[in-house]
Amino acid sequence: MSSRAQNYEFQEWWNKHREFLDKPENTAFLTVEIHSPTVDKGHTRSARQLSWLWLLKFQQLATSLAWLTDGFIDLVRTANRRIAASKTDSPFDSSISSRLYRIIKYFLFLVILLLCFELITYLKGWHFSPPSVESAEAVVERAYAKWLEIRVNYLAPPLQSLTNLCIILFLIQSVDRIALILGCFWIKFWKLRPVAAAEYVGRENVEDYPMVLVQIPMCNEREVYQQSIAACCIQDWPKERMLIQVLDDSDELDAQLLIKAEVQKWQQRGVHILYRHRLIRTGYKAGNPKSAMSCDYVKDYEFVAIFDADFQPGPDFLKRTIPHFKGKDDLALVQARWAFVNKDENLLTRLQNINLSFHFEVEQQVNGVFINFFGFNGTAGVWRIKALEDCGGWLERTTVEDMDIVVRAHLCGWKFIYLNDVKCLCELPESYEAYKKQQHRWHSGPMQLFRLCFVDILRAKVSFGKKANMIFLFFLLRKLILPFYSFTLFCIILPLTMFLPEAQLPAWVVCYVPGIMSILNILPGPRSFPFIVPYLLFENTMSVTKFNAMISGLFRLGSSYEWVVTKKLGRSSEADLVAFAEKE
């Protein structure tokens, strides 16, 4: 089969048109033919489309404004409900405690008025060329000139004097904080820690173990009573050498029945445990152990271990604390460290963990090693009963019975040991109301105690150094000066310097030194570094509550003697304890 003859005419026509298509200037029409033409939407929209577009944007804006308004209203309603609830639930007269907050509200209103006045004068240009009283023509101009005269001659000098005083106190407290940090580094570098003279591991003779009394004070602790009782009942200590007292101050009948049933359950298992309930609940928390120590069988015991209702000591707690008393007849107290099972629950617990980690890791440890004196934390500690009796026992005169008894024991010549490596699990308050009431008690009680025992400290037969440390460092610097200057400097002076520029407040006082101090506070808990800014703001906010508590305790105001049991949620359940122990 022969091939088809080639068509030369078609080949010539195709080559000529292909040369034309290959030229760059002739390829544009191909793009137009292949792709669909684009349309400029901005020029092709009709008036109706534009109106619908703007209507849609307006609807979105209205929805956003409505969402913000609803959120703000819900926030105000929630705040009002919490304020109303706190006033209703509070068992003491809140008129005295709220007086400071009313003053702060008036101060805020005054600051807003001054701000509006300053804005008017700024728009008038009087900031750049201040008028005088003689040259002023308008009433507002004359008022501003008179305000400048009063500000320079009468307001700025006393404010500057108060500023200088607060700066000096701030620097003294900062030096104390740096000294504590350096002391903690020294302890870590040289690995200084108390060493027990004896151990109770592998001993078969039961008589070698001293008699230990374990006390668990509680009041309506329906969320945590089971785990605290169980943790004490499973202590690795001979049962015949240990007695557990459950000191129940509950005024709710169902709580009493639950706690009593739990005690009976452990009694059936062979544990020596007793249930005690006071018919007349007096003397705050101090009245509870005071009543229990009056029992006749207490004279048979040498030591007493105290645990609050939300504390769960490890099974080896007694074996790690009691040996430190061996051969040290002048040792009165062995204090263990707190560990928190809910420190990562919310922002409030994280911020509390920062403060308490510094307190235990730095303050307690440094004071225990170098000064041999620190504040008893009221729980997770073991006392020599002879020392309690020697210093007068539990007294009901303040709301800080733990600090009261440790001060009296120190003045009687007794010594103390702090064990940073022995931890006792507990729970942090997770609500702001519970934390606020706890802080009020912790800051008003020391001022009550300082007012009562100041003369006793001066008359005590101890060295001048111990007296100076107790008065100036333990009470004045850390319990009185700290809340005073933090509230006055950052809540009063700093806002006033915006309207009284004649009173100078250095930038390093406002920014640099507080930032450095915050970093030092977070060093014991490096995981808390992301929360340094919220921590700094939160401490300035809480300075109002702490200052109010300090003043009420110092001048014996009604709110200083309030006693509200810190609300627990039972976070430290069995699963939480196991997980925490594995993590540690």
For the stretch 317-349, pLDDT in tens is 999 999 999 999 999 999 999 999 999 999 999
Residue 36 has a pLDDT of 46
Share of the chain above pLDDT 70, in %: 85
Contact 489, 170 (CB under 8 A): yes
Are both 274 and 384 inside the same structural domain? yes
Report the alpha-carbon distance of residue 234 to residue 197 in Å, rounded.
Answer: 25
- pLDDT at position 42: 46
Count CA atoms closer than 13 A to 157's CA, side-chain side: 5
Q: What pTM was computed for the model?
A: 0.80
φ and ψ at residue 425, rounded to 5 degrees: -70, 140
Higher per-residue confidence, 343 vs 61: 343
Residue 360 lies in a domain: yes
What pLDDT does residue 580 have? 46
The answer to whether the CB of 217 falls within 8 A of the CB of 289 is yes
The pLDDT of residue 85 is: 52
Average pLDDT rounded to a whole number, residues 96-124:
79
pLDDT digits (tens, 9 = 90+) for 360-397: 999 999 999 999 999 999 999 999 999 999 999 999 99
Secondary structure letter of residue 279 according to DSSP:
S
Q: Which of 80-84, 166-170, 258-262, 353-357 has the lowest mean pLDDT?
A: 80-84
- Residue 339 falls within a domain, yes or no? yes
Q: Is 230 or 116 the better-scoring residue by pLDDT?
A: 230
Domain that holds residue 518: 162-192+438-563
Length of the chain: 584
Mean pLDDT of 502-530: 91
Q: Which of 232, 231, 239 is nearest to 211 (CA)?
A: 239
Instruction: Mark whether 74 is an active-site residue.
Output: no
Q: What is the pLDDT of residues 189-244, one digit of tens each?
A: 999 999 998 888 777 788 889 999 999 999 988 889 999 999 999 999 999 999 99
- Asked if the structure places residue 66 within a domain, the reply is no
| Co-location of 408 and 451 in the same domain | no
Tell me if 582 is assigned to some domain: no
115 belongs to a structural domain: no
Looking at the chain, the number of H-run helices and the number of E-run strands are 24, 7
Angle, CA 402 vertex, CA 397 and CA 406 arms, to 5°: 100
Residue 555 lies in a domain: yes
Catalytic option among 249, 308, 310, 404: 249
| pLDDT confidence of residue 64 | 82
Q: How far apart, in whole angstroms, are the C-alpha atoms of residue 331 and residue 257?
A: 39
Residues 458-494: pLDDT tens digits?
999 999 999 999 999 999 999 999 999 999 999 889 9
The verdict on 422 and 476 lying in the same domain is: no
Q: Answer yes or no: is pLDDT of 89 > 80.
A: no
Mark whether 456 is an active-site residue. Answer: no
Residue 572: the pLDDT is: 55
Residue of 449, 450, 428 whose CA lies nearest to 438: 428
Q: Using DSSP, state whether 328 is helix, strand or coil.
A: coil
Per-residue pLDDT band at 123 (split at 50, 70, 90): confident
Active-site choice (248, 310, 402, 404)? 402
**Do the domain assignments include residue 125?**
no
Question: Alpha-carbon distance 339 to 342, whole Å?
Answer: 9
Alpha carbon distance 405, 495 (integer Å): 41
* 231: CATH: 3.90.550.10
pLDDT, residue 584, reads 46
Residues 444, 424 share a domain? no
265 and 410 co-located in one domain: yes
For residue 131, what pLDDT is reported?
80
What are 426-449's pLDDT values in tens digits? 999 999 989 998 999 999 999 999
Considering the domain architecture, whether residues 519 and 499 belong to the same structural domain is answered as: yes
Choose one of 385, 410, 430: the last residue of a domain. Answer: 430
- Identify whether 306 is part of a domain: yes
Clarify whether residues 343 and 258 are in a common domain: yes
Average pLDDT, the chain: 85
Distances (CA, A) of 15 to 5, 10, 19, 28: 18, 9, 6, 20
